[in-house]
Structures are given as structure tokens and as C-alpha cells.
């Protein structure tokens, strides 16, 4: 369903039945409303990364990493639910737009509670923001359920699952003892991931593979941008103090190599076959939680490394290096887990785990961040040299991901879950 069928003479229709868009729709791309929606999540990602940076630098790594992990799951899950729903049911009518604006408002409230959630596991504000987002989401799934279309049974199950879980979130936040909060949080998070699996058993929702691939690519750019911003702010602090030394230069240079290489490796992804089938689509989407969280954590780690090099913070040299190496290794291994079955090239099937181990070992070198960056560049160079790079030998640009994947994923195979 195109925007032309929904908008006539400059007027947006009040409501259009949510029966599902055509998964074979040509030239499907991210809409301006979706891009606006993503901007709100930039705030939450930035605040989570900043809190992680300060917590690690101050010597509170275990509790801060725990808080960051829990919060980033919530950020990612809210974004995923909207993204997959929009791919299947974005009618661009007035009701859909208003529901999206309500979701964005809830996301801003959630973002306001991110620092206290990461630093002190205080989720009161964050859960209220999440409840606001869920009100809009449940209303949209009610529209699907009331449409009478083939996806209505899935809509009913989504409504039930979201209502039960959101009630549970509010309840444990209000009454659960502090020592039980994290175990209950993890239990409910597993429940959240189970709702789409349960709902899709009733009726599969249609979606556009090229659109989904592009949306994830754009979110990757957002998270990478936050990592660049974290490093830039740390460099600014260094410049203000006039302490630009050789150790700092290796962190800046190595950090740039790391970020550029992370972009390169991600946009070589052969996701087409994974997005065409329901089980692999779940795996692909769930593993992106690790991918995106790791990218944000690498940016925070680079800021920690810069602070340590200038004599700030309470963390030691090894801890500062590990703050970059651990999330970088997690990033590599999560991508490898996604695509290992589709890779015939030994350098990808075997090389990425070896590279992750070498990244961790780089913390023992005098200039660890630079060593990590060089390792990633050498890996990419070897892939190019051996002809293992996907496509025409260059990474797929973010703006072209949708077109690249959509071309080979048409027909009846394009049916899968709304929020894997």
C-alpha cells in the first residue's frame, strides 16, 4: 500500500484497516516518520552509553555494565516492536501517526530515566515511559485484531501478551524487593521475547525484507554515531587540558580504525536468506541486541580509555583496555553467530573467532586500542585479498541495504514475525 493511496489532495485519512501491507511492494524505504522516530532513540542510546562510560571510569564496572545491559534491552525492544509493526502495517493514516507520536513521547520519558536505571538500577521513570509506549502499541494491535483480516489472530495474541507483561513490569517496579528486581527483570525480558513467537503461531504477519534490512542498517548508523560522539567529547576534554600525547594519539587513531572497521564488517552482511524464513529471522533480530549494545559499549570504552590516558578516573590500564576489547569481541562474535552457516569462506567461518581472541589479547600490548584497530584492518585486507568480500568486493552502503536485499526476497517466502 503506497502513500498515494492513503493521501489525497494533501489530506491524510483518519484510519485505514490494518490488514497488512504488500511484502512485495517495490521501492519500499524508510519513511520520514520512521526516521523521526529513530531520532528519539538516539537520546536513549546516548544517555545509556554516557552512563556506562562514567560508571566504568569511576571503578563501578560490574554494576554499571549490568544496568547498561538491562536498559539497552529495553531501548532495543521498544525500537524493534515499532519497526517490525510498521513494516507490516504502516498505513500512514492519522491514527497511526498519532500512535507513533505517543510512542515517541513515552520513549523520551523512558530516556529521562536511563541514567538512574544504569547507575542505580532505579527503573521507576523508565517503566512509566515504557508503559506510555505500550499504550500506543496495544492500541495499534487492537486495530489489527479488529480488522478481521488474516493477521487478526496474531493481533489478539500480541494484545494479550503485551497487556500481561506491562502489568507485570509495573507491579514488580512498585512492590518487588530490591534483591529480587534483577531476576524478575530477566524473567520478564524472556517473556517479552516469547510473545512474538507465540503470536506468530496463530498467524504470520507480512513484512518487507528490504525495508527491515534498511531499518536495521540505519539504526546501526545511529549507534555508531553515538560511539563517534562519545569519543569526540572525550577528545575535546583532552584538548581543553592541552595534554595531547603519544598515548592519546594511539587511542584516537586506533579508535577511528575500530569504528570504521565495525561499519565495514557489518554492511557486508548476507542477511537476505535469514530474513526470508521465520526461525532465522528471529535469530537475526535477537542477535542484533548484542550487536547494537556492543557498538554503543565500544564508544563508551573508547571514552574510558581516553580518560585513563589523561590520568582521570579510577580504572587501571588493563581495565581501560578491556572496556574496549570486551564489547568489540562480543560484536564480532555476534555477527559471526548470525552468518556462520551462510559463509563458505574459511576466513569468515574461522577468522572472526580468531580475530575476537586476538582483540582480547591486544589488551596486553603497550598500545592496545591501536593494536585492535590494526587487527581489524588486517582482517578486512585479507578478506579483500582472498576475494571473500560479499557483493562486488565493497561493503554495502546503508542507504542501499533495502534495495540490495529486497530484490532477492520476493514471493511467498516473505512472511515472518513482526517483532523477532
**pLDDT tens per residue, range 337-368:** 887 766 656 666 788 899 999 999 999 999 99
pLDDT given for residue 181 in this prediction: 87
139 and 216 inside one domain = no
The answer to whether residue 111 scores a pLDDT higher than 50 is yes
pLDDT given for residue 220 in this prediction: 93
219 and 179 inside one domain = no
Is 364 part of any domain?
A: yes
Is 25 part of any domain?
A: no
Residues ≥6 apart with Cβ < 8 Å to 350:
none
Q: Which residues pair with 415 in a beta bridge?
A: 206
User: Cα(77)–Cα(252) distance, rounded to whole angstroms?
Assistant: 32
The answer to whether residue 409 scores a pLDDT higher than 80 is no
- Count CA atoms within 13 Å of residue 180 on its CB side: 10
44 and 123 inside one domain = yes
Is 246 part of any domain?
A: yes
Q: What is the pTM of this model?
A: 0.85
Q: Please state the domain count of the chain.
A: 2
The rounded percent of the chain whose pLDDT value lies above 90 is: 46
By the 8 A CB rule, do 274 and 283 touch? yes
pLDDT given for residue 343 in this prediction: 61
pLDDT given for residue 178 in this prediction: 82
More confident residue, 297 or 396: 297
Is 5 part of any domain?
A: no
pLDDT given for residue 8 in this prediction: 44
The answer to whether residue 114 scores a pLDDT higher than 80 is yes
154 and 283 inside one domain = no
Q: Which of 160, 190, 206 is the last residue of a domain?
A: 206
Quickly tell me which residue has 524493534 as its cell: 80
Instruction: State the cell numbers at 52.
Output: 556506562
Is 2 part of any domain?
A: no
pLDDT given for residue 390 in this prediction: 46
Residues 118-152: tens digit of each pLDDT: 888 888 899 999 999 999 999 999 999 998 888 89
Mean pLDDT in residue range 327-337: 94
Classify 415 as helix, strand or coil: strand
Is 296 part of any domain?
A: yes
Instruction: State the cell numbers at 123.
Output: 527503573
Domain of 275, in residue numbers: 209-404
User: Cα(124)–Cα(113) distance, rounded to whole angstroms?
Assistant: 7
188 and 236 inside one domain = no
Q: Which of 151, 171, 206 is the last residue of a domain?
A: 206
116 and 214 inside one domain = no
pLDDT given for residue 399 in this prediction: 37
Compute the Cα dihedral for 365, 255, 60, 309 and give only its sign. positive
pLDDT given for residue 226 in this prediction: 83
Residues 181-190: tens digit of each pLDDT: 889 999 999 9
Confidence of residue 270 (pLDDT cuts 50, 70, 90): low
Mean pLDDT in residue range 73-92: 91
Q: Which of 186, 206, 226 is the last residue of a domain?
A: 206
pLDDT given for residue 400 in this prediction: 37
177 and 57 inside one domain = yes
183 and 90 inside one domain = yes
The answer to whether residue 396 scores a pLDDT higher than 70 is no
Is 344 part of any domain?
A: yes
The answer to whether residue 199 scores a pLDDT higher than 80 is yes
Is 24 part of any domain?
A: no
Mean confidence (pLDDT) of the chain: 82
For 150-306, list the strands marked E by DSSP: 205-206
Please state, as a whole number, how many other Cβ atoms lie within 10 Å of the Cβ of residue 417. 20
Instruction: Give whole-number Cα distances, 204 to 21, 109, 380, 419, in Å.
Output: 13, 32, 38, 11
290 and 143 inside one domain = no
188 and 133 inside one domain = yes
Mean pLDDT in residue range 238-263: 82
158 and 214 inside one domain = no
Classify 254 as helix, strand or coil: helix
66 and 135 inside one domain = yes
Amino acid at each position: 500500500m503506497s502513500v498515494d493511496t492513503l493521501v489525497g489532495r494533501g489530506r491524510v485519512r483518519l484510519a485505514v484497516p490494518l490488514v497488512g501491507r504488500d511484502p512485495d511492494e517495490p521501492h519500499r524505504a524508510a519513511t520520514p516518520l520512521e526516521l523521526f522516530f529513530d531520532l528519539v532513540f538516539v537520546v536513549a542510546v546516548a544517555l545509556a552509553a554516557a552512563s556506562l562510560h562514567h560508571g566504568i571510569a569511576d571503578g563501578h564496572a560490574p554494576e554499571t555494565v549490568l544496568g547498561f545491559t538491562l536498559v539497552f534491552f529495553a531501548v532495543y525492544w521498544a525500537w524493534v516492536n515499532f519497526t517490525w509493526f510498521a513494516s507490516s502495517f504502516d498505513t500512514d493514516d492519522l491514527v497511526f501517526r498519532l500512535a507513533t507520536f505517543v510512542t515517541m513521547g513515552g520513549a523520551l520519558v523512558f530516556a529521562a530515566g536511563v541514567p538512574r536505571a544504569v547507575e542505580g538500577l532505579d527503573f521507576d521513570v523508565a517503566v512509566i515511559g515504557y508503559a506510555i509506549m505500550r499504550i500506543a502499541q496495544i492500541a495499534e494491535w487492537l486495530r489489527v485484531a479488529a480488522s478481521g483480516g488474516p493477521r487478526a489472530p496474531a493481533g489478539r495474541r500480541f494484545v494479550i501478551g503485551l497487556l500481561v507483561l506491562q502489568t507485570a513490569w509495573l507491579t514488580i517496579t512498585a512492590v518487588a524487593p530490591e534483591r529480587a528486581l534483577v531476576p524478575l527483570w530477566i524473567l520478564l525480558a524472556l517473556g517479552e521475547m516469547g510473545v512474538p513467537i507465540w503470536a506468530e503461531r496463530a498467524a504470520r504477519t507480512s513484512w518487507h525484507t528490504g525495508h527491515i534490512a534498511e531499518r536495521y542498517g540505519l539504526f546501526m548508523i545511529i549507534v555508531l554515531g553515538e560511539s563517534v560522539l562519545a569519543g569526540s567529547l572525550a577528545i575535546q576534554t583532552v584538548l581543553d587540558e592541552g595534554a595531547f600525547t603519544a598515548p592519546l594519539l594511539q587511542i584516537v587513531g586506533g579508535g577511528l580504525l575500530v569504528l570504521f572497521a565495525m561499519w565495514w564488517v557489518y554492511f557486508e552482511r548476507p542477511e537476505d536468506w535469514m530474513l526470508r524464513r521465520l526461525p532465522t529471522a528471529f535469530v537475526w533480530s535477537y542477535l542484533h541486541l548484542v550487536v547494537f549494545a556492543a557498538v554503543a559499549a565500544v564508544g563508551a570504552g573508547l571514552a574510558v580509555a581516553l580518560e585513563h590516558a589523561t590520568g582521570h578516573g579510577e580504572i587501571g590500564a588493563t581495565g581501560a583496555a578491556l572496556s574496549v576489547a570486551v564489547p568489540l569481541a562480543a560484536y564480532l562474535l555476534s555477527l559471526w553467530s548470525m552468518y556462520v552457516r551462510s559463509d563458505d569462506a574459511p576466513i569468515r567461518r574461522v577468522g572472526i573467532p580468531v580475530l575476537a581472541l586476538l582483540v582480547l589479547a591486544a589488551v596486553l600490548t603497550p598500545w592496545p586500542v591501536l593494536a585492535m584497530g590494526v587487527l581489524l584492518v588486517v582482517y578486512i585486507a585479507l578478506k579483500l585479498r582472498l576475494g571473500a568480500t560479499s557483493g562486488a568486493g565493497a561493503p554495502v552502503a546503508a542507504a542501499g541495504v533495502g534495495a540490495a536485499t529486497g530484490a532477492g526476497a520476493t514471493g511467498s517466502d516473505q512472511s515472518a514475525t513482526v517483532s523477532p
